Amino acid sequence: MSVKPPLMDLPISTADSGFYSGFSKTVAIVSKIIVAALVVWAIVFPDQAGSVLNALNSFILANTAYWYVYIVAFFVLLCAFLAIWPTAGRLKLGLDSDEPEFSNFSWFSMMFGAGIGVGMLTWSVAEPVYHFQNNPDVIKGAVEGSTAEAIRSAYKWSFLHWGFGAWACYAIAGLALGFFCYRRGLPLTMRSSLTPLFGKSLSGPLGHLIDIVAVVATILGVAQTLGFGVEQFVAGLTRIGIGGLIGEGGTANTLGVIVAIVIIMAASTMSALSGVGKGIKWLSNLNMGLSIFLLTFFLLFGATFFGLQSLVVGIWDYIIALPEMLFTVWRSDGVEGSVASQLESWQGGWTVFYWAWWIAFAPFVGLFLARISKGRTIREFVLGAIIVPSLMCFVWFTWAGGTAIDLTLNGDAGDAIFGASDGDKIFAMVIHMLGAAFGWIMSIVIVILLMTYLVTTADSAVLIVNTINAAGDEGPKAQPHIYFWGIALGGVVAALLIAGGSGGGGLKAIQTAMVIGAFPFSIVMVLQGIALVKAIYNDGRRNAVGIATTHDQAASAPAE
């Protein structure tokens, strides 16, 4: 069977003039309508929105656990395969002559800040604490919760959610986009990554649909992250003396949500207007520096030996248990309160939710990673984008979360840390460690760090959404569109937080919308993985017969 040249031309119709000049009107307008409708629906009909979203969420989680668990396992295995496959590992995300645009430090900083940075400040303390009290090993009776013997299992399950599985989701989207956009010269947009499967048909409605799904998933995935961040930001403002922002249940009230959203989205919009090379790069370097400072504080003054022991043992337990954890799906036996039912409920609330979150976040982080990784090899990308950030997460979880556990288990913290809300746990911990005065100063540092993470995430998301809407154009975007998506992103977070009510209902509303938005894009991601393997395999055959595989070798070529 003859080998055909790869597709190196995927025209996407964009407006020549007017408000949408340079943008794909179908993608931009439909995406805006969907997001705007969600905001209006959540505000005007909060009860109906909550009921419908919860019903859809319950259906998806009840019927797609196998899907989410197995596709994330597939992503992890595929990344490992691409790194060790000689044909793939040495290929660059770009032309053979391309060199990386950013230093390794800036690359890691932007990658970590955009990918997981915000979540670190909330969940590096909150999640180990949760799993220390309850996790599948506790449910099955293998260990007793809230005791020293539960520490190892707490980290094993925490590492599962923030380790290789999370970053493999990002890496697949980033690899697919980087490969097809920078080697083939195709537009930097989601549809380009599926050209080996669908060819030139992606120029039309099918391609528009894929990009719309990516935009909506991005907004909802980032809204999930910002929702947690807003709650923690308000908790931090309260800790440093700004009152009136906390309502019932220890969560942000309407005023707190509005204040946080206005501050964060105003700063992020200004940063987005300056582009990746200026505002986002500067903020990423700043938050990496502050992260190192805060982490050094925990290393020196926290539970140092406890954290080191938890890190080493936790990584060992995680690696050993990873195959089983990646492929295990628990199903209820129909008996309420049984071990099987508890395991299914735990997995739906934690693992399945996390996999949906990372997948919803993948179009944003994947496109951003592709944008900052041009010129790096696939092997370098996989190792840099999966192993290094995972290790950074593990260090945070063991020293920050480990300090909280150690202070409660072996110290005199009592219920001061465990009893605080998720976002407030890290503030409660540093105040307990340092006292009121120095704890107040450290709280200011954490608030500033949180602010830089939130702004980096939000402004990166705005730029990515505009890039998709502009048919992959990375150049300057019309300011009104940046303003719109900045306001829209803040609007989604604010509307769902306010409409969801107090006591965590707002975050639940965002989680529900995010899980629903993630499902269609999960299908796109599986197709991206298949398309990438097919393209690399066919490129090996093309090279053997002298057919050009990069856009510098051939100005154009027939479709596959």
What contacts 139, CB < 8 A, 6 or more positions away? Answer: 339, 342, 343, 346
Q: What tokens appear for 346 in the block? A: 């735990």
Task: Assess contact for 459 and 447: CB atoms under 8 A.
Answer: no
**pLDDT per position as a tens digit, 286-304:** 777 888 888 899 988 899 9
Q: Is the pLDDT of residue 273 over 80?
A: no
* Residue 29 pLDDT: 94
Mean pLDDT, to the nearest integer, of 199-217? Answer: 94
Q: How far apart are CA 281 and CA 107, in angstroms?
A: 9
Radius of gyration of the chain (CA): 23
Q: How far apart are CA 357 and CA 119, in angstroms?
A: 11
Task: State the SS3 of 167-202.
Answer: HHHHHHHHHHHHHHHHCCCCCCCHHHHHHHHHHHHH
Q: Length of the chain, please?
A: 560
What contacts 511, CB < 8 A, 6 or more positions away? Answer: 57, 224, 227, 353
What contacts 294, CB < 8 A, 6 or more positions away? Answer: 445, 446, 449
* Residue 279 pLDDT: 56
Mean pLDDT of the chain: 86
Q: Using pLDDT thresholds of 50, 70 and 90, give the confidence band for residue 1.
A: low
- The pTM score is 0.89
Considering only CA atoms, which of 219, 115, 226 is closest in space to residue 517?
219
Task: Assess contact for 378 and 91: CB atoms under 8 A.
Answer: yes
Find which of 27-36, 271-280, 546-555 is predicted with most confidence, using mean pLDDT. Answer: 27-36
Q: If 0-12 CB within 10 Å is exposed, 13-18 middle and 19+ buried, where does residue 77 land?
A: middle
Considering only CA atoms, which of 316, 314, 287 is closest in space to residue 399?
314
Q: How far apart are CA 441 and CA 456, in angstroms?
A: 23
CA atoms within 13 A on the CB side of 340: 6
Residue holding tokens 């090899």?
377
DSSP conformation class of 125: H
**pLDDT per position as a tens digit, 22-33:** 899 999 999 999
Q: How far apart are CA 299 and CA 395, in angstroms?
A: 9
Q: What is the DSSP string of 310-336?
A: HHHHHHHHHHHHHHHHHH------S-T
Mean pLDDT, to the nearest integer, of 236-249? Answer: 82
Phi-psi region for residue 433, left (φ > 0), alpha (ψ -120 to 50) or beta?
alpha
Q: How far apart are CA 533 and CA 522, in angstroms?
A: 17
Q: Using pLDDT thresholds of 50, 70 and 90, give the confidence band for residue 375.
A: very high
Q: Using pLDDT thresholds of 50, 70 and 90, give the confidence band for residue 187.
A: very high
Identify the residue with better confidence: 487 or 197: 197
List for the chain the helix, strand, coil content (%; round to 5). Answer: 75, 0, 25
* Residue 557 pLDDT: 46
Query: What angle (nearest 5°) sits at the alpha carbon of residue 313, between those of residues 308 and 318?
Result: 125
What contacts 407, CB < 8 A, 6 or more positions away? Answer: 303, 413, 417, 429, 432, 433
Identify the residue with better confidence: 295 or 496: 295
Identify the residue with better confidence: 254 or 90: 90
Q: What tokens appear for 488 in the block? A: 């829209």
Mean pLDDT, to the nearest integer, of 134-138? Answer: 96
Task: Assess contact for 192 and 434: CB atoms under 8 A.
Answer: no
Task: Assess contact for 455 and 234: CB atoms under 8 A.
Answer: no
For the chain, percent of residues with pLDDT exceeding 90: 43
Domains of the chain plus CATH, in order, are 35-544 (1.20.1740)
CA atoms within 13 A on the CB side of 111: 29
Helix (H, G, I), strand (E, B) or coil at 252: strand
Task: Assess contact for 226 and 516: CB atoms under 8 A.
Answer: no
Q: What tokens appear for 207 in the block? A: 């391609």
Mean pLDDT, to the nearest integer, of 228-250? Answer: 83
**pLDDT per position as a tens digit, 433-468:** 999 899 999 999 999 888 887 887 787 788 888 889
Q: Using pLDDT thresholds of 50, 70 and 90, give the confidence band for residue 544.
A: confident
